[in-house]
Amino acid sequence: MSELEEIKKRKLNELMKKSQYPDKPIEVTDKNFDSIIHKYPLILIDCWAVWCAPCRMIAPMIEELAKKYKGKIVFGKLDVNENMAIAKRFDIMAIPNLLIFKKGKLVDRIVGVQPMPILESRLKEYLGKS
């Protein structure tokens, strides 16, 4: 295979991989949680509830980050009222509670509403690490 063909193949693989990443938050539940955190190398899960005003404040930021980091980070939303097993498993006592998983392992947690630059800087910490 020529060098040009190898470059084309690599670029095509990168594009295919990016197209598999959603550009909006995906729904995470007790049932699909484990498969989701292992499917994507880096995922942030927003643990929230309908009645939570701070959760509604952070929701547009999560939507914006999902678009901005498509192909690099996946964003999920888990309603803690409907998915109590996961809330209990990760000791979620306050919401919003953002769980960051890398290769299926919990690597960080952000509790409460934080400004966009803080969220981005925390996420960027995990983009370059393998």
- The answer to whether 52 is a known catalytic residue is yes
Widest Cα–Cα separation across the chain:
58
Beta strands 97-102 and 42-48 are antiparallel
Catalytic pick among 52, 58, 87, 98 = 52
Q: Which residues carry out catalysis?
A: 52, 55
